[in-house]
Structure 1
Amino acid sequence: MTGPGQSSAAIADRLPELLAPVLGPGLRVGRVEPLSGGASRQIWGIQVHGGDGRKHELVLRTGKPVDPDGDTSGGLNAGMELEAASQRAAAAAGMPVPAVLCASDDTSALGCGYLVSARVPGETIPRRILRSATPGARQRLLAQSATALAALHAADPDSVLGLPEHDPLVLWGDWMDSLGQPSAVFEVALRWLLHHRPAPGGSAIVHGDFRLGNLMVDDSGLAAVLDWELVHRGDPLEDLGWFCVRAWRFGADDRPAGGLGSIEEFVAGYERAAGRAVDRDALRWWQVLGTLRWGVLCQYQAHRHLSGQTRSVELAAVGRRACENEWDLLELLAEQGIA
């Protein structure tokens, strides 16, 4: 099912022109199929036959068509050109990512920005990954995830022009105020974060949504890191804390680091790869912030549905999970001595 302003036929008609500078003339699009997308991107599987007879399996990511009511991402989403530049910087640093063929924020070709990359085979659905993985495979994927993040964070953030940078407490505090859905737990968590803020842990390219669901996994483990729309410049511990948020364990609460293993194992792997120590107290702070952030984002998705801005059962289902984050925050704050 295509979104408004986009169709398989229209994409197939325009792609040869977009890809010719990279793959050469005489291209023919053999297949265009919608893949699972998120709240801010549409994703298509593309098969392209080259003029030289070669077959290319590609992925097209498009921004949603321009909404007449304005930006529905809350201003968080990177443009396609920034996504592409970030992926290329990550690849140069040693993080496995899909090879980018072309990207543009120009909406004239497809009615929205686009990014075309090589298709990496594997599995992304978290519960399938966790259900099928042996203990050894989980340990390997956990170590690979830590190593991949260390590689990304070693890249020079100045090498990617236009990376947004924000104070996360100001950002999420403003979001809470703008939604007009007061939560006593969220307010207490924000107050705790304000009073226990750690010293800055450096400045790095931050993926922004590093977790199962955004990782392509094959028989060898981590095949590629996907979904770069939340990339920004910030503290590298943000990615580590987000990976450890309870929501991203997908029911495997005995393995708090991404549903794969212990937080200590994950951090130790990151330290070995990065060559520097991780402040455990600072990491816990970022885990609290990540939990608050996800709770606020759940509220936001509910608001989009209930306000009529974007009617969606998926958004409504995500929105009802805000209360889960309230519970998780209470548990995290209790561990810090706040009953």
Structure 2
Amino acid sequence: MENVKGILSAVAKSLVSKVLFSTFGLVGLVVVLIIIIIAAVFSSSDDIGSGVIGGKGEQLPESVLVWEADIAEAMERHELDSKYLYVMLAILKQESNGDVAKTNGDIFQASESKCGSIGCIKEPLESIDQAVSYFKETVIVSKDNMEVAIQSYNFGNGFATWTQENHDNKWSPEIAIEFSKKMLAEAKNPLIYKCHRQEAKDSGACYGDILYVPSILAFLPNAEGGPIEFNGQLGMPLAPALVTSEYGERYHPIHKEWRLHAGIDFGCIGGVTPIQASQDGTIERADWAGGWGQMVFIKHADNLYTRYAHLSSMAVSTGDSVSAGDVIGVCGTTGTSTNPHLHMEVQTTESQQSTVNPRSLLGI
């Protein structure tokens, strides 16, 4: 974007110079000024580094998802907002694919941030703890700018400070390349840094990973939704699908008593992750529903109903017809909820007493 601004500025100056010496100088100057204003609006509105969480919705492998509960526990302990769960999982995918043997236990490659050198962490849980602790630091230093925080996990928090001083706390590939080249030029032994990407080699930017941010964003939920995956009779209502609480008796985190958890909870990002209809049907209800918060209830057949609760917003109304994969709302934490998630229930009648475990129907 900085390059775009520079090019536009140079073009504008050149045009002004020519116009001032033309016969129609005054009229031409007005035209050029309009061009400059439009260019300025274009360049200022295309902000990179907005901090909005959203990605391509690519599926994380099982080798990464097996660590989800441990990461969530570490995030709660370090008081890192649960909305970053997918970010931490995507970072794990990028760093090691969850491979304990290959990383000698340091699945997050977090030793350097803890000890200043590689190899001091030998246990996966220690690696998770350090990764969560360090990422929380990057979030604070980056002023909660998502792209800058992610790149700082790879470059170090010096990147967040530097980009605030030089690029208005924004991230772009060009900014990442600039910082990488700067750090490489200042390194005592630049030969230790190897180019792991052709793009880095072509740019002479081999310090860190200049495309770390898009690599992570690829595994974050797609805010626009997309095709849903069918492994059973019902399709998955969101992607990626991370089960955070099962169907069955559990100790309620708010009411502090044992009671039936009548559905499955899926982790998702509040205000971002689209929630989709699991099958064709008719919206029986779409409104506020007490502890469920903003809730959508769909009839698919005489013996099959699905409920989607705690939504931050709804995209359908009572009486609407929907097809499998249609976006019906957005993940949230409305009603009786401790953090953003989707609570999904499956019923065999309209009565809430007829709930069944959604797992078999979802094929998970």
Q: Same fold (TM over 0.5)?
A: no
Greater Rg over alpha carbons, structure:
2
* TM-score relative to the length of structure 1: 0.24
